Chain A
Amino acid sequence: MSEKEEEPRIGVFVCSCGSNIGGLIDVKALAEYSKTLPNVVFTEDNLYTCSETGLAQIKNGIKDHNLNRVIVASCTPRTHEPLFRDCVEEEGVNQYLFNFVNIRDQNTWCHQKYPEEAFNKAKDLIRMGVAKASKLEALENITVDSTPTALIIGGGVSGMTAALSLANQGFETHLVERENELGGRLKTLYKLFPNDQEAQILLDNLKKNVEGNKNLTVHTSTQVRNIEGFIGNFEVRVEENGNNIDLTIGVIVVAVGASLLTPSGYFGYDGKIRITQHELESKLQNNEVHPKDVVMIQCVGSRNEERVYCSNVCCMTALKNSLIIKEINPETNVTILFRDLYTPGTHYEDYYRRARETGVLFIEYSPEKLPTVEEKQIRVYNEYLGEDMIISYDLCVLSTPLVSNNDNKALAQMIKVPLEENGFFLEAHVKLRPMDFATDGVYVCGSAKWPVDITESISQGYAAAARASTIISHDTIEVEGATSFLPDYNRSLCTGCEVCIKVCPYKAINKNENDEIEITQVLCKGCGVCGATCTQHAIIIRHFTDQQILSEIYAYGGKEV
């Protein structure tokens, strides 16, 4: 790292961002102020630093003034850091020698009535940024080989869709299903909303495509036993019919789906005349039920204290089964007791309308006054009437939620991903990265994440496959160079206390055969917890080193202590 030895030559570019920054504070004066700071050799203010012109100005600055550190004071690194990093890199300055100072999102936009204070804040922030920049070190991103193989855990509709999508793109794909045949929840369904297609037809089509695909290996009666490694290079052990198989995998898609809830204790559930929607579905398919008076109760065992969530699919399922019952015998009375009816979008709302047209009755109940299910009749308090209604029934159907699988936790620990409070898998970001996990190279789709219907399961299957293919379509992958690091010159400090091993959430730190601490750079995500914990201050967090952060503190505090 020659830059480390070189005297820092810092260029500071202050962005006006149109009037977003320049409208409140004087960017010319900021640029002038920056010139007075240590190691700063060039400053400039730009109307838009991120524009073609602005980027050209940075490049010219680097060329003309031989800059080896660049600071942009503007919006926020969260949106614009990659752009400026690329820009300086093109001019031969290592991207990690770029530093961002946020004077818009966290300054001018938030102190619009205090121009003078905002100006002073910008000065402080630039001074801190310059101090850190002087201590920055060039880093290289780490490149590792990647295996172009995918593992899909779960052979339901979402998993099969993801597997097919990847296999059709030419990637070697392994589909693992713990039961002895593919299909998951789809196997047990009769007709599917919103187009009343028979589940079996969809399933047969999917299975035919899966089984006929030469890139796709199906492992049924198979459990995942162990997963080690990292993005592009997972070592996976699966147990297929009692035999262990070891696979080298590039990306993993979790498509384990969800489980059914048996509503024992709810509304006199007995599995005979008081059954679940799921049980009704198979009875309808086998033509086993011919009820006269059907009452369905929604939100049984969900949206309560134990399970706070809405299971997403039960409203539509109730409507669908009502319509099937009405189709078999229009004379059958069907009443749906609901808390909130959830039928979003034109198709589903249309489905609801159809149910109303066939004469299905909808009665709202509140969680404070739950319906009481008696031997042959149900009492439900009607808000509008202000009194109890009594509805007789010969079949009571309980709409129960999908719940997370009991063994999610074990799998989550194997792949080092989080579960949310209800035991479902938690994505990296609900909006920005919905199919990703925070752990690289692992993706999620279908009801493993949250109860979803078949349409959504399929969409998510494709989406997860698309995300996964962005990794395995390359021979190598590049990972962030700002990782934790135990330099050789600090090795003698290490006492082997292993605290770093314990706090690392990614199991990136281990002891090697010589009983020395070893940090696997590709596994490290650079959170820095190990460095802040290391009892001997031996571990260095690159790009956020103690010296770099302390320099910021001292620049603000005004002295070194």
Chain B
Amino acid sequence: MTFEPKVLGFLCNWCSYAGADLAGVSRIQYPPNMRVIRVMCSGRVDPMFIFKALLTGIDGVFVLGCHPGDCHYLEGNYEAEKKFMMVQKFLEMVDFDKRIRLDWVSASEGARFGRVVTEFIESIREQGPSPLSGESFDQELFNNIKAMENAASSDRIRALVGRQRKITEAENEYGEKVSVDEFNRIFDEAIHDEFVRQRILLSLSTKVLSVKDLAVELKLDPSEILENMLTLKSRGEIDYQSIDGNTPLYMRI
């Protein structure tokens, strides 16, 4: 049987949903592979939604909002963009970022709606079925993306995303501004660390492991694992369970 992509679209009520309606009114034809969830603003699309959708085995997720400057809620689409970029940064780590896309369609762009949806569906078709669907289910990938969802839901990452525009675009009371490069450096570091930490937590939630075990399982340097485990321990999320010879074993609290 040929592969038919299963695509989910989040459409903002005011621009892209209206554009999708206009595509219908204009009888623009596009492949019937996308299901739509209507939200009032693309800024409502919680990063969690995208991860969860991918985790259910959906092959591709499309977020559509108003063009920059056209947002019905003034700036919601800019916030959507920041959130989306965060999700993308995570998914790049497992080469899954091409399965999500963000684009802008106005209420007057029925034809454009048809075009961008067709392009996205075709790109998913080329990528093939998600390894999180069907029989060849990839548990490791699932764990990784689950850890990403948890990391993206953490207050550290959410606070960085929420403050990103304020701290990179506006000056603070002292006339200081964080450059985009500087922000990205901090942001990338946070994304990497929080991912590793969530991955450790996920592994420890089913079994008791040593630093070395985790390093093997997560294919990371033991010193990096140890560093993050110390942070997790200080956050009270993991603790020693027992000592096997000279090796401490850790468990999730």
Contacts and interface: CB of A to CB of B under 8 A. Distances in A.
Interface of A: 76-78, 102, 104-107, 109-114, 117-118, 120-121, 124-125, 128, 416, 418, 420-421, 428-429, 438, 482, 495, 497, 499-500, 502-503, 505-506, 525-529, 531-537, 541, 544, 546, 549-550, 552-554, 556-561
Interface string B12-33: 0100011011011101111111
B49 interface: yes
Contacts of A536: 155
Interface of B: 4, 6, 8, 13, 17-18, 20-21, 23-25, 27-33, 35-41, 43-49, 52-53, 55-58, 69, 72-76, 79, 83, 107, 114, 146, 153, 155, 158-159, 161-163, 165-166
Nearest to A116: B32
A106 B57 contact: no
Task: Give 3 closest A-B pairs by Cβ, nearest first.
Answer: A557-B56, A528-B44, A499-B162
A128 B8 CA distance: 11
Nearest to B50: A553
Contact of B40 (A421, A506, A544): A544
B76 A527 contact: yes
A102 B36 contact: yes
B37 A535 contact: no
A110 B162 contact: no
Given A110-B23, A531-B46, A535-B162, A557 B41 contact: no
Nearest to B37: A552
B29 A113 contact: yes
Given A114-B32, A533-B162, 8 more contacts: A110-B32, A121-B35, A128-B37, A416-B74, A499-B162, A506-B73, A528-B40, A549-B46
Given A438-B72, A528-B40, A528-B43, A497 B155 contact: yes
A105 B53 contact: no
Given A102-B36, A106-B21, A529-B73, A535 B158 contact: yes
17 contacts: A78-B18, A78-B21, A109-B27, A110-B24, A110-B27, A121-B32, A121-B35, A438-B73, A497-B162, A502-B166, A506-B74, A528-B39, A529-B44, A531-B46, A532-B46, A533-B79, A557-B57
A553 B52 contact: yes
Contacts of A114: 32
Given A113-B29, A533-B162, A550-B49, A125 B35 contact: yes
Contact of A546 (B18, B30, B46, B79): B46
A248 B31 CA distance: 54
B3 to A, nearest CB: 14
B55 A561 contact: yes
A30 B6 CA distance: 20
Contacts of B21: 76, 78, 102, 105-106
Nearest to B23: A110
Contacts, number: 173
Contact of A525 (B30, B31, B53, B73): B73
B6 to A, nearest CB: 8
B83 A532 contact: yes
Contacts of B74: 416, 418, 438, 505-506
A115 to B, nearest CB: 10
A360 B140 CA distance: 80
Nearest to A121: B32
Nearest to A430: B108
A534 B58 contact: no
Contact of A505 (B8, B17, B73, B166): B73
B24 A553 contact: no
A561 B56 contact: yes
Contact of A111 (B32, B41, B75, B162): B32
Contacts of A506: 73-74
Contacts of B32: 107, 110-111, 114, 117-118, 120-121
Contact of A535 (B40, B49, B155): B155
B147 to A, nearest CB: 13
Contacts of B20: 105-106
Given A495-B155, A505-B76, A558-B56, A553 B37 contact: yes
Contact of B58 (A78, A109, A117, A557): A557
Of A114, A429, A529, the most chain B CB neighbours within 10 A belong to A529
Contacts of B17: 78
Contacts of A420: 69
Nearest to A537: B153
Given A109-B24, A110-B30, A497-B159, A541 B44 contact: yes
Nearest to B72: A438
Given A546-B48, A550-B49, A109 B8 contact: no
Nearest to A77: B38
A440 B94 CA distance: 45
Contacts of B30: 110-111
Contacts of B35: 121, 124-125, 128, 556
B154 to A, nearest CB: 8
A114 B34 CA distance: 14
B238 to A, nearest CB: 22
Contact of A556 (B45, B58, B83): B58
